[in-house]
Amino acid sequence: MELHIRQVIFLLLVVRSLTDDLPRKHMDDFIKAVETIELENPGLRPLDVVRGLRKAAGVESPHIQLRLGFLSHTKLYIKPELIGFLTGVIKHRVTEQGVEEGVLLTTDGTTVALTPLLLGLEAGLQSTSPGRVHGLFHLTLIDNLVRSFLHYSQNGPPTSSRLGPGGCWDSVANPQVFTLSGVASLATDSLVTGGMDGVILGKHVAEPEKHPLTLSSLLKQYYNHQLDEGGLDAAPGLISRFCRTNFRKMVKVSVLRKQLTKYLNTFQKLEKYSKKQRQELKKKMEMLNEGLMEFVHNYMDCPAIIPRCMWEAQPYKGTPTMLNLPLPFLYIHHTYEPSQPCLTFQQCSRDMRAMQRFHQHDRGWDDIGYSFVAGSDGYLYEGRGWLWQGAHTKGHNSKGYGVSFIGNYTSSIPAKRAMDLVKHQLAKCATDGERLTPDFILHGHRQVVSTLCPGDAFYHEIQSWEHFAEVKKNPK
């Protein structure tokens, strides 16, 4: 028995060693690979590099050919040992086990599909008319959305989804396997995020004066920007953590609807639809519009929320209590401890874990108390989430969501961009999604519990927010 256990331990150590030697499925590792390729191919334009990467990964289809032309021989030399890595991180697919391939974890904690990102960059880099990129939306988003909506109309739940889901990495430090958290659609969260990034960067590089010197430098600027002492509000606009904000500013719903309708004609031709099939598709236009509205709600109105698995939360203790939605209140908190705003995914994740330990071990609660937590890195973090009752506002936990901002805001207020995530995006997401009532009331923690939370400065600030109200006195 002892020998058997030793053998098992030895095999586990060997597997762990082999896994550790593999390149991570991380944007940083992809950028390093691109840098290596650029050094070995001096003088090649970023467009040549993008097309060479797509060629190496075997990403080609009639739809792509229609928009970008045939992918003939490229001048790019890539070491044979890099080909397997590039194929694995670029070519997208979902396995029968629910593992999503062709995706990368980024420094800011989100997961991105590379194919729509690279297609958007290629379209932008080869554009001949500044400000107008041929086929940009179709290559990055619309093709996946249309296919997903049609697939859903034919199959429906529980065997298919219209959009999403997200998922979890096997390891945040050494990401290798990304497993979806539910039934896969043909437009997963990673494909949508990669598509939105592809639209943003494709439009950016379409301007001749904004052509990057190298592909790797552009990806570094976008995905790896480090916040300085100016924090979130001093950050440049073109960085990945502002993906949803930039996409929302850049794209109107009417434009997306027009692009979707326009693409249907092309789609029918590419798929060789019969006359009967085209007539049936016309009847499904209402269904396609419903899908588009779901997309707008999920990815344009709602903020990006880092799920529990990504900040490495411990399991809930006991049995959670489900909330009775929609709720009439939203309670605003500050954490006080940690007292400093967190500026990176790594810092915010550590703070989340520290708070959960304090709440579970010191306070004796089942989980971290807050429904959601706002970092100063541009993201919200999932606590108890939308469905489960929290432990944030004693006596009122069943009546509302508790949202806390990491930091001590006694004499200062959070970054404006961090506040906007809650003040505008989370609030709209919750009301439109029927999680908060349209006339919900916003209170500071101190209004209903004897506490200084959310700090004097921050409490003064939220008094100007829409939905803020004084506590109604019960008549004697």
Q: How confident is the model at residue 268 (pLDDT cuts 50, 70, 90)?
A: confident
pTM value? 0.92
CA 473/CA 419 separation, integer angstroms: 28
pLDDT tens string 278-292: 667 766 677 888 999
Q: Which residue has the higher pLDDT, 278 or 121?
A: 121
Rounded CA-CA distance 471/452 in Å is 16
305 — phi, psi (to 5°)? -120, 125
- The whole-angstrom separation of Cα 374 and Cα 205 is 32
CB-based burial label for 390 (10 Å; 0-12, 13-18, 19+): buried
Of 294 and 212, the one with more pLDDT: 294
Within its chain, how far is the Cα of 178 from the centroid? 14
Is a pLDDT exceeding 50 seen at residue 16?
no
Question: What pLDDT, on a 0 to 100 scale, did the predictor assign at position 285?
Answer: 75
Q: pLDDT band at residue 17, thresholds of 50, 70 and 90?
A: very low
Q: Is the pLDDT of residue 74 over 90?
A: no
Which residues, 6+ apart, have CB-to-CB distance to 52 below 8 Å? 37, 41, 44, 74, 75, 76, 78
